[in-house]
Amino acid sequence: MQQYAMLISPSANRVYARTAARMAANEIRVFSARALDGRVVDVEEAAFGGVPYLTFRSDSLSARDLRLLANLSSLYALFAVRGAMLEPIAVERLDRYDDDLITILKYVGKTNEQFTKLLLNVTAAVALDPDRLLSGDVTVLDPMCGRGTTLNQAAMYGWDAFGVEVDKRDFEAYSAFVQRWLKDKRLKHHAVQSRVKREGRGVGQRTRVEFAATKERHRAGDLQVVEIVNADTLRSGEVFRKGAFDLIVTDAPYGVQHAAVKDTRALTRKPTEVLEAAVPVWADLLRRGGALGLSWNLYTTARTDLVAILEDAGLEVMDAAPFLDFEHRVDQAINRDLVVARKPK
C-alpha cells in the first residue's frame, strides 16, 4: 500500500490550529467512507523533519480520487512517502477564483474559513457521489449566512450559492462585497436587486448576482449564481421551492454575548428554539438524498437534543464515527460541534 503525507495549512486562527490535525484526520475519514469506498486507511498524525503531517495509506488512488482529496479543508501540500523521502504530488483543486474571495472580508462573528470549508466538504461527501461533487453542478443554501463565508466557499467550488440572513447590515455588507469583488477582478457579472413577495406581502430584500469565472464560460451561458435574501430563516420556505437544494450548510447562532460574536443582536429566541423551528423548514428545501450540515455551540444545545430535532424532521443523522469527533473549542463560551443529516431518497 502506498503511504501519503499531507502537510496541514498553517491556520490563521491559533485556537482552531490546535485541533486542526484531528479535524483534518476525520475529514479524510469521511471522504474515505462516503466518497472513496473506504479505500483510504491508517489516517494518523506523524512528523517528518520535526514538522507535523497527517499520513494515510491507500492501494490505488486514481486521478479522480486525488482531485477529491485536493479539496480537503486543511490540505497545504500532498506527498507520496518513498522511504525517508517525500515526493510532491501536484494537486488540482476545484478552486475557480483567487482565494481572497474567501479571505478579504474580516468582521466580528465570521466563521473560521477552514472550518466552513470542512463543514461544506463533509456535508457534500454525504449527499453527492464523487463525479457530481467534482462537476460544478451543485446547489447550496446557507440559511443563516451572515456575511457569506459558506456562500463564498461554494462559489469558489463553482457551485450555486444561496443565503438567508436576518441581519440587514450583514445582508447589505455581503451584497456590496460580492459585487465589488467581481468588479475588482474584472469578472463579467449581472446583479439584480428585488423584493421577495408571497401572496402580495413582502418577505425581504434580495440580491442575485450571476457571473462566470472566464469570458468563455460567460459567453457560453455557463453562469454561476450567488443570491442572498434579507429575511428570517423561518420564512425560507416562502423564498425557495421545496427540494431546491443539494446541500444546506450553516453555522448556527452561538447564543452568547461575546466580543467576538455579534449574533445576539439578531436573536429573539434561544438557539435551540430557533433550530427546533427552522430544521423542518430547511428539511423541506432539501432534495431527496441531499444533506444538511450544521455546526452549533454545545454549551447551548446538547447533541442528543439536536439529533432528535433532525430525526423529527425526517432526516437520517450520521451518528457514528467518523462524524462524532469534530467537537472543538472556539473560545471560553463556545464549544462547537457539527452534525450531518441526510434526507432519505
C-beta closer to ligand SAM: residue 143 or 322: 143
Question: Using an 8 Å Cβ cutoff, are 279 and 313 in contact?
Answer: yes
Q: Considering the complex, what minimum distance in angstroms separates the CB of residue 126 from ligand SAM?
A: 20
Q: Does 165 engage in binding with ligand SAM (CB under 6 A)?
A: yes
The number of beta carbons lying within 10 Å of the beta carbon of residue 98 is 13
Q: Does 276 engage in binding with ligand SAM (CB under 6 A)?
A: no
Q: Which three cell numbers stand for residue 85?
A: 523521502
Span 59-98, contacts to ligand SAM by CB under 6 A: none
Beta-carbon-side half-sphere exposure of residue 129 (alpha carbons within 13 Å): 1
Q: Does 110 engage in binding with ligand SAM (CB under 6 A)?
A: yes
Question: Using an 8 Å Cβ cutoff, are 297 and 271 in contact?
Answer: yes
Binding residues for ligand SAM, rule CB under 6 A, total: 23
Q: Does 251 engage in binding with ligand SAM (CB under 6 A)?
A: yes
Question: Using an 8 Å Cβ cutoff, are 148 and 54 in contact?
Answer: no
C-beta closer to ligand SAM: residue 55 or 233: 233
Q: Of 233, 245, 306, 328, which one interacts with ligand SAM (CB under 6 A)?
A: 233
C-beta closer to ligand SAM: residue 27 or 251: 251
C-beta closer to ligand SAM: residue 53 or 115: 115
Q: Does 166 engage in binding with ligand SAM (CB under 6 A)?
A: yes
Q: Of 29, 34, 147, 343, which one interacts with ligand SAM (CB under 6 A)?
A: 147
Q: Does 164 engage in binding with ligand SAM (CB under 6 A)?
A: yes
Q: Of 27, 160, 167, 227, which one interacts with ligand SAM (CB under 6 A)?
A: 167
Q: Which of these segments, 4-12, 67-75, 78-86, 247-255, binds ligand SAM (CB under 6 A)?
A: 247-255
Length of the chain: 345
Q: Does 154 engage in binding with ligand SAM (CB under 6 A)?
A: no
C-beta closer to ligand SAM: residue 40 or 294: 294
Q: Of 118, 274, 294, 318, which one interacts with ligand SAM (CB under 6 A)?
A: 274
3-state secondary structure of 211: strand
Least Cα distance to 250 among 220, 283, 188, 293 occurs for: 293
Residue 6: φ, ψ to 5°: -115, 125
Q: Where are the alpha helices (H) located in 36-167, listed in sequence order? A: 63-69, 100-103, 113-127, 130-135, 149-156
Q: Considering the complex, what minimum distance in angstroms separates the CB of residue 116 from ligand SAM?
A: 6
Strand extents, DSSP E, the chain:
2-8, 40-48, 51-58, 75-82, 85-89, 139-142, 160-165, 189-198, 201-211, 224-230, 245-251, 286-297, 316-317, 328-331, 334-342
Q: Considering the complex, what minimum distance in angstroms separates the CB of residue 82 from ligand SAM?
A: 40
Could you give the string, one character per residue 179-218, with x where binding to ligand SAM holds by CB under 6 A and - elsewhere?
Answer: ----------------------------------------
C-beta closer to ligand SAM: residue 72 or 102: 102
Beta strands 224-230 and 160-165 are parallel
Report the C-alpha dihedral over residues 281, 285, 288, 293, rounded to 10 degrees: -70
- Which spans of this chain sit near ligand SAM (rule: CB under 6 A)? 109-111, 144-147, 149-150, 164-167, 170, 232-233, 251, 253-254, 263, 266-267, 274
